[in-house]
Structure 1
């Protein structure tokens, strides 16, 4: 994750796509992914059973495994060190990591798998598993996790359930990366605000922002793009009791009263003068690093970015409870096994791949150095992790994290409808209710198309 946004998740900073561009793109992406469904697909359940030997070791001949990820930023070196260690410890398995920006990754993998040249192991975000599963890009892992003895108790129930689609498991969580509230110590100290006044609630947050405003400081900049304004909206929606979509994936529900309230809160920050208008992409984070912004809701991936800036004095808190309940947006990197050609060699590769997946899952504490909360409970409860002060603070939110819903194709739907609505409202071009209602109508049409292609989410 790079610059001042999530790694590999950014768009073109020089051009924000129009609503028409994104609606057309959503349809094109869905059509591209459908390539993975053509032909005579092998029975992925049988292939998963082949891999169910667990981690007892791979007794076969020397083998090279292709491991594909989107770790292009500061998260790449920690993963490279883990792979180097695995290769030293395993004489007959060599893992080679290929890295592609996430935006390209989710187009590259289905096409490669369909052609028979996909990776042996890959990493996917939890919100991408449903789409990959419906296209049979990845294998169900119920037999694998049973052989490995893994269950919710090894992670958390929310993390564990995020890997399930239509009653089958497709991902093994490696980490969780939620939003947090970063604060600039220098800005707050100059305004006479100490640690005792750091905000945990809506009242506290607004009181601090009003105090900062009295000192001429706009303390909480609202971005009109997904990172970070869109993720703020999703967190606030859940805090207000709303949902993004219906459980079956048939309709958008983000235009509820909870959605209007959530988007209204963001606009109030601007209208009250706590945020500038027309905040450019990444401008909120740039202002934070230049001691012009006191608070920023951003992901755990910014830990290593802010640590690397000389002289920047900062800390992090859980996202404050603005609504009636605690909730915060999060996502999770999951280990997946892409579908392999149904050959004898492919069966051997699956057995070796499970050994690697099991080893990597068990070593998620080292992965925490990439600026992540490890998924494994034993890693989070270790003394070593508790010494990672910032990551441990993010981990306090695990009981209230919320993941995007497990609905095939929903990521494209959200990007081409809801994200534009948030953008238009935050830029004060359209009233919140009008923007959300229009986006919901467009989302419903796209969801209807998805239902015809993929069936219901449940």
Structure 2
């Protein structure tokens, strides 16, 4: 279904535990260094080698990646990449054990919020030399994308893409009910006016999901739009129970209470309803762009998220290349792995066809990417996109946020109480993780 497989989030806690043996002192031990990689991957002129590449791209993005790997292999006979794809939960079970046994892959891809935990447990190693050799710099990327690849002052990730939230809207149903299908709402007033029009025609126009996919992401986007943040500036405590957080969650809950959304929306029911004409506006991930393009009965458009608050705010994440720790230094394989990373990121417009925004600004602004239908609004929103902070074990704390959002959207707790209770649970997790992984 999506590059961000929800099973990764549900099972990630189990996946990280097996890696603890890699770093007996958590994140406090000295991080291992990557083997020397020649020219950092700018080119490869060594003997024929096979590079093992692991990722969790089980959906259409996996097919796109395999096509790109095949093209790379055909163009570079001395570097043959063998790609292994796992469910994300299985990926994080297998990777630490494989690294520990000396049978880990040469290169892998993971999300921004996975890298700090894997770095703290010494499953992956710094690759500052790759970024330096290839001349990559912060100005090449949106700040959140570039900074998201760092952990404790070292670079662990080479950015591949951005995948963020956007507004999907059913043009067919809008037009049928007297709304302009070419003018999706961009502000709170426009959004509510459209919902009132639809409600008057018997259509519940903005279904609110109580689940992380994608109600939890909607809440985070609204939190930033109202001027709040998920964590404190030093990431030591949850900050989502601020006034901004209460405003954001209250707005979502009021959509349910006031009949703009059904109660008790099931997992993915909001998205399914969009596709069958029962829902009109869906805060959904870029990964569904190719899916809605196949519809015959309804035409679905995409637009930047409406600004319900006073500023832009969009949930997002990023795939980045990482280098797993190796027990031995095969200089040829090391340089070949970096060469593959360089090649893949330079072909980001091809990768974008799997419904992604290229991480590099130049490629996101290039003609090849702009020719891909349905993605431009997501690229426009990259400037407002926020990513999970670079803190080991951060997903454990975020899970409590999503539980709190769910409780409020299901009308089991009022927004302030739900967020405060979730913050209390998260703060304990953050303190425990600091001891577990090191400062």
Q: Give the C-alpha shift of residue 392 in structure 1.
A: 1.5
- Cα 1:39–1:255, aligned 2, differ >3 Å: closer, same or farther? closer
Stretches of structure 1 that go unaligned for 5 or more consecutive residues are none
Q: What are the within-5 Å matches in structure 2 for residues 18-33 of structure 1?
A: 26=13, 31-33=17-19
- Cα 1:40–1:191, aligned 2, differ >3 Å: closer, same or farther? closer
Q: Say whether 1:8 aligns with 2:2.
A: no
- Cα 1:344–1:402, aligned 2, differ >3 Å: closer, same or farther? closer
Q: Say whether 1:283 aligns with 2:269.
A: yes
- In 2, the alpha carbon distance for the partners of 1:406 and 1:251 equals 14
- Of stretches 388-397 and 209-218 in structure 1, the one that deviates more from structure 2 is 388-397
Which residue of the partner structure matches residue 425 of structure 2? 442
Native 8 Å contact 1:52 1:144 kept in 2? no
- Of stretches 101-110 and 293-302 in structure 1, the one that deviates more from structure 2 is 101-110
Which residue of the partner structure matches residue 373 of structure 1? 357
Which residue of the partner structure matches residue 386 of structure 2? 402
- In 2, the alpha carbon distance for the partners of 1:312 and 1:133 equals 45
Which residue of the partner structure matches residue 348 of structure 2? 364
Native 8 Å contact 1:132 1:138 kept in 2? yes
Q: What are the within-5 Å matches in structure 2 for residues 330-341 of structure 1?
A: 330-341=316-327
Which residue of the partner structure matches residue 452 of structure 1? 435
TM superposition score normalised by structure 1: 0.91
Helix, strand or coil for the counterpart of 1:127?
Answer: coil
Deviation digits for residues 278-318 of structure 1 (CA, Å, limit 9, x no counterpart): 00111101111111100100010001111123333110000
Native 8 Å contact 1:35 1:111 kept in 2? no
Q: What are the within-5 Å matches in structure 2 for residues 379-398 of structure 1?
A: 379-398=363-382
- In 2, the alpha carbon distance for the partners of 1:379 and 1:402 equals 20
- Cα 1:7–1:30, aligned 2, differ >3 Å: closer, same or farther? closer
Figure out how many residues of one structure are paired with residues of the other and give that number.
438
- In 2, the alpha carbon distance for the partners of 1:142 and 1:122 equals 16
Helix, strand or coil for the counterpart of 1:57?
Answer: coil
Which residue of the partner structure matches residue 76 of structure 2? 90
Helix, strand or coil for the counterpart of 2:71?
Answer: helix
Helix, strand or coil for the counterpart of 1:58?
Answer: coil
TM superposition score normalised by structure 2: 0.95
RMSD of aligned alpha carbons: 2.1
- In 1, the alpha carbon distance for the partners of 2:165 and 2:421 equals 27
Q: Give the C-alpha shift of residue 266 in structure 1.
A: 0.6
Q: Say whether 1:47 aligns with 2:34.
A: yes
- Cα 1:353–1:233, aligned 2, differ >3 Å: closer, same or farther? same
Which residue of the partner structure matches residue 134 of structure 1? 120
Stretches of structure 2 that go unaligned for 5 or more consecutive residues are none
Deviation digits for residues 24-54 of structure 1 (CA, Å, limit 9, x no counterpart): x85x555433122149999755425x02522
